[in-house]
Amino acid sequence: MIIYEYEEVKHQYLKEHIVDIVSLHKYFKLEWKTLKARQYCGILNFNNEDYYILPKIANHNDEQNLSIFIYMLMYAYDVQLSNEQIASCANQKHNILEVFVQMFASGLLNELKKGIYKEYITEQDNLPVLKGKYLINENLKYNFTKNKIYCEYDEFSPNNLLNQFFLFAVKYLQKFVKDKKLLKQCELIFDEVEYKTIDINNLNVHFNRLNSRFKTSFEIAILLIKQLIPLFSQDKKSFAFLFDMNVLFEKFIARIVEEQYDNVEVPKSYISFGGLNLKPDIIVKSKNLIIDCKYKILAENELAKRDDRYQMYLYGNNFENISTTMLLYPKHLDSIDKTVVLGTNNIKVVLKMKSVDLSFCGNYKDYLIEIRKRMEIINGI
């Protein structure tokens, strides 16, 4: 079943489930007796039945909207799906999560077959022979009457944080997919790794030349776990796999601009100007331009919201060498192309409001070529 962002959920069974599950309330809006989807797109699964929430990009062409959503996810998060996997998602033969998990498991398994990552871990143990460093205090404490030696030594071991995370991930993801074969094969390779529940928000894994080949698998696993919302009820295992279109649109556009233009910065955190903290989406230094992506509907005869205009005015007055600011919207019904000047006298800021049409019928490669052409709207600035 297909639902569109901002539209009413009319399926009664689904509506009842969403109302009953508190963890889903942020993704939907309940107005009196009407339940509407917000700007979160992806998939809801209840009792093994899939419900897609799609962005309104291609004028209610379900298959095309689903394909474009998948293309945006792939590009924004650098996910590599084969043509067969994309087609499997687009025709709903397999849901998005199932395909993404299989891609993750396949990539991880390929790297593990080359050799599991090991690093030196400092261990302490009571041994029959001396190994490494003799620990005097521990021996006095534990071995006063025992014929053993308490030692500290370095072990070249697979039982490190990276592998503990992967073991957690492959076991966790098995709860949400039907085909567990590749995940279980990965799990078997981690037989010498201690299983731990991992808090991904406080995970501090360092990559170096020895483990960098696992970085892509690590990033995809983090993405999957972060976006998954378990909706378990009794013995039935349901889930939501949803993406905020505000974030997806911003990441998608930012990556295109980074590839197309020189000296582009995408700030990861706020930049302080005295007591003022600002964080533009994209700074194109080679064009003296700041871009903020707004996943909102703007009609041809409308101005940007007051708060958005004020935000751009602050950017223009605080960042050095910025001559122009831009609010970029996805095209809805109308193409947007307006310019206004904010402020007066010597503190004026030029604001351009433009839209980019994300709709396109074609394969992933052609889609990216076409969107890059459309993003050449920056060239004239």
For residue 251, is it within any domain?
Answer: no
What percent of the chain clears pLDDT 70, i.e. is strictly above it? Answer: 96
The pTM (predicted TM-score) of the whole model is 0.85
pLDDT single digits (tens) 206-247: 899 889 999 999 999 999 999 988 876 654 678 889 999 999
Same domain, 60 and 72: yes
Which of 190, 216, 245 lies at the terminal end of a domain, its last residue? Answer: 245
Nearest to residue 229, comparing CAs of 28, 73, 80, 7? Answer: 28
Q: How far apart are CA 348 and CA 357, in angstroms?
A: 29
Same domain, 111 and 128: no
Beta-bridged to residue 325, according to DSSP, are 290, 351
Q: How many CA atoms lie within 13 A of 216 on its CB side?
A: 15
pLDDT single digits (tens) 337-374: 899 998 877 778 999 999 999 999 889 999 999 999 99
Same domain, 73 and 140: no
Q: Is the dihedral of CA 221, 223, 226, 227 positive or negative?
A: negative
**59-63, 198-202, 260-264: the lowest-pLDDT one:** 59-63
Q: How many domains does one find in the chain?
A: 3
Same domain, 97 and 127: no
For residue 326, is it within any domain?
Answer: yes
Same domain, 234 and 265: no
149 is in which domain, residue-wise?
119-157
Same domain, 95 and 216: yes
Same domain, 194 and 234: yes
For residue 255, is it within any domain?
Answer: no
Same domain, 216 and 275: no
Say what the pLDDT of residue 223 is.
93
For residue 342, is it within any domain?
Answer: yes
Tell whether the model's pLDDT for residue 140 goes beyond 80. Answer: no
**119-128, 243-252, 272-281: the lowest-pLDDT one:** 119-128
Is-contact 257 264, C-beta < 8 A? yes
The phi, psi pair for 360, rounded to 5°, reads -170, 140
**What is the CB neighbour count within 10 angstroms for residue 27?**
19
Same domain, 137 and 238: no
For residue 256, is it within any domain?
Answer: no
Q: Is 169 exposed, middle or buried (0-12, 13-18, 19+ CB in 10 A)?
A: buried
For residue 253, is it within any domain?
Answer: no
Q: How many CA atoms lie within 13 A of 315 on its CB side?
A: 27
For residue 299, is it within any domain?
Answer: yes
Same domain, 62 and 130: no
pLDDT single digits (tens) 162-212: 999 999 999 999 988 888 999 999 999 999 899 999 999 888 888 998 899
Say what the pLDDT of residue 378 is.
86
pLDDT single digits (tens) 107-122: 999 999 999 998 877 7
Is-contact 112 97, C-beta < 8 A? no
Same domain, 18 and 107: yes
Which of 101, 136, 157 lies at the terminal end of a domain, its last residue? Answer: 157
Same domain, 167 and 149: no
For residue 273, is it within any domain?
Answer: yes
Beta-bridged to residue 122, according to DSSP, are 154
pLDDT single digits (tens) 285-310: 999 999 999 998 887 788 889 999 99
